[in-house]
Structure formats: C-alpha cells, structure tokens
Amino acid sequence: MRQLRRQAMDRKRLQGVVAQGPAPTRARRQGRTGFTLYGLRHTVAVILREIGMDERTIADALGQKTLEMARHYAKGADLRPKMRGVVRSFDEELNRRKTKAVKPDS
C-alpha cells in the first residue's frame, strides 16, 4: 500500500516537469510524462561532456563498452565555452612565443 501511494506521489510530481519533447496525447492521458531511460542517459552524457569529461569517462559512467556509444549520447553537448578556453589558451601561448620581427639584410 505504501509503495502504491509513493508511486502515485512520484507520478504527480513528475507530471509537473516538462519533458524535452511533447509526449503523445495518449501517453499524457495515461499519466506518463515522456521521460525515458534513453533521455536520461542522453542528458547525463551531455552534461558530463559539457563539463569537460573525456569520452572514456562518459562511457564508463553510462555503462557503455564502446566510445562510439558515448559519442552518440553526448553529441548534443554545447562545447563553445570549452572551445573559447582552448582558443584563449592557444592565443596566450602564441603571444608568449612571439619574437620580434627580423628585417632581412639588404
């Protein structure tokens, strides 16, 4: 009985959360929210990729055997902030290595 009550409460809580895409009308009538294990796996992979985790770490966290699956689940990650840092670091290193221009002898 307690378990049924807990499941009903969890279902009501989840109904207030908006899923990534619209759930089919039939699923909504049945009280399903559109959450799937695939969606959860994708979300975890994207977050891990955005915070800079490598593909092997993501694959391990998801329980995947191959890096290809980690790439598949993490492909929607926004890597722009990470790339800005890479470009900034590269630019700083390039400026550090600059030497004065040498004029050729005439």
Looking up tokens 């009501």 gives 12
74 in Cβ contact with 49 (< 8 Å): yes
**What range does the domain containing 59 cover?**
31-95
**How far is it, in rounded angstroms, from Cα 12 to Cα 8?**
6
Q: How many structural domains does the chain have?
A: 1
The residue among 30, 2, 38 whose CA lies nearest residue 14 is 30
Give per-residue pLDDT as tens, 29-77: 666 667 788 888 899 999 999 998 999 999 999 998 999 988 898 988 8
What share of the chain in percent tops pLDDT 70? 63
Residue 83 within a domain = yes
Residue 14 within a domain = no
Mean pLDDT of 5-28: 53
Residue 87 within a domain = yes
Residue 2 within a domain = no
Residue 104 within a domain = no
Residue 101 within a domain = no
**How far is it, in rounded angstroms, from Cα 32 to Cα 34?**
6
